[in-house]
Chains A and B, each alone.
Chain A
Amino acid sequence: MSDSSIVHAHQFDDAEQQHEASWLGMWVFLATEVMFFGGMFLGYTIYRSTYPEAFADASNHLDIWLGTINTAVLIGSSFTMALAVRSAQLGARKPLVRFLILTLVLGALFLGIKFTEYYAKIEEHLVPGSNFSYAGPLGRAAQIFFSFYFAMTGMHALHMIIGLALLTALIVKAGRGRFSSVYNTPVELVGLYWHFVDIVWIFLFPLLYLVGRHLQ
């Protein structure tokens, strides 16, 4: 199949140029996303260096096992996503749909576990605000830790939800056979986005769950 047989938008000369533009556009967007999360990483770094004991203590209130399992789940979803992109490159429709659905399921599982954790934190009065209660003298700085916990994981979960919506759209399109070995840019781009969200979690996991375990 030659390039000229693929439809491309009117502003482009050919499909190759369109693909280049889309690929670059996604990377520019991801650079933006790095800075978006970067603001929170900065705040986190400053407070952790100011209140190391409180952060260690508060971190121990998180469930390290759920955190580890969730990390594995999300890495698994990245793996299936990478395989989905591969299937798309090869023009294999059925594996593509299968891997996309698998990614969707793993993503949903991640969110499910995450919301279980949130629920536990609500029960334990660890949500910042007027209901926050924390035994011991480190309560005030611990509230800062939980502010970051909810802001960072919340922003991450929001990205996951958007990712799930994108995946759903891809599955529908892939099922209808819209993608081929020559045209699979949307699968590729959603893949990039999904891996990025995975990377954010790869950093959130040690920063939130593993701060003070060794001091217990």
Chain B
Amino acid sequence: MKSDHVVSIKLYSAIFGALLVMTLATAGAAFIDLGGNLNTVVAMLIAACKALLVILFFMHVRYSSRLTWVFVGAGFFWLMILLSLTLADVLSRRWLPTVVG
């Protein structure tokens, strides 16, 4: 299930540092107008990276069995189902306007 892997303080500190840097980076990037939806994309990408670091190292998933990966994946996969199919409705609703012709 899970190995009793003990992560070194050095690695933990490095992760912590990276998380802090990314927090500052995302706050800073928010003030720059990147145009279009790029601000959102950048913010979400940084958030995803941060989450990934926490999951892999702080939560020891990197050192865990496949089964753990499956359930971590399942949570996000199902979230994607919920988001993508609902957005399939919301975003395509106006493809067929009320007025025709």
- Known A-B contacts A42-B86, A214-B32; A35 and B54 likewise in contact (beta carbons under 8 Å): no
Q: Which residues does chain A contribute within 8 Å of B30, judged by CB atoms?
A: 64, 206, 209-210, 213-214
Q: How far is the CA of A72 from the CA of B23 in the complex (A)?
A: 7
Residue from the list A19, A24, A32, A79 in contact with B16, Cβ < 8 A? A79
Do A27 and B58 touch across chains, with their CB atoms under 8 A apart? no
Q: Which residues does chain B contribute within 8 Å of A45, judged by CB atoms?
A: 83, 87
Which of A131-139, A167-175, A195-203 is near enough to bind chain B? A195-203
Q: Which residues does chain B contribute within 8 Å of A81, judged by CB atoms?
A: 58
Residue from the list B31, B47, B71 in contact with A24, Cβ < 8 A? B71
Which of A82-90, A110-118, A119-127 is near enough to bind chain B? A82-90
Counting CB contacts under 8 A, is A128 at the interface?
no
- Known A-B contacts A24-B1, A198-B54, A199-B55; A86 and B82 likewise in contact (beta carbons under 8 Å): no
Do B50 and A192 touch across chains, with their CB atoms under 8 A apart? no
Q: Which residues does chain B contribute within 8 Å of A72, judged by CB atoms?
A: 20, 23
Residue from the list A35, A83, A206 in contact with B79, Cβ < 8 A? A35
Do A75 and B71 touch across chains, with their CB atoms under 8 A apart? no
Residue from the list A20, A68, A206, A214 in contact with B46, Cβ < 8 A? A206
Smallest Cβ-Cβ distance to A31: which chain B residue: B75
Q: Which residues does chain A contribute within 8 Å of B1, judged by CB atoms?
A: 19-20, 23-24
Smallest Cβ-Cβ distance to B42: which chain A residue: A206
Q: How far is the CA of A20 from the CA of B3 in the complex (A)?
A: 10
Smallest Cβ-Cβ distance to A21: which chain B residue: B1
Which B27-67 residues have a C-beta within 8 angstroms of A? 27, 30-34, 39-40, 43-44, 46-47, 50-51, 54-55, 57-59, 64, 67
Q: How far is the CA of A20 from the CA of B64 in the complex (A)?
A: 11
Q: Which residues does chain B contribute within 8 Å of A38, judged by CB atoms?
A: 78-79, 82-83
Which A54-76 residues have a C-beta within 8 angstroms of B? 64, 67-68, 71-72, 75-76
Q: In this complex, which of B19, B33, B57, B58 has the most chain A Cβ atoms within 10 angstroms of its Cβ?
A: B58
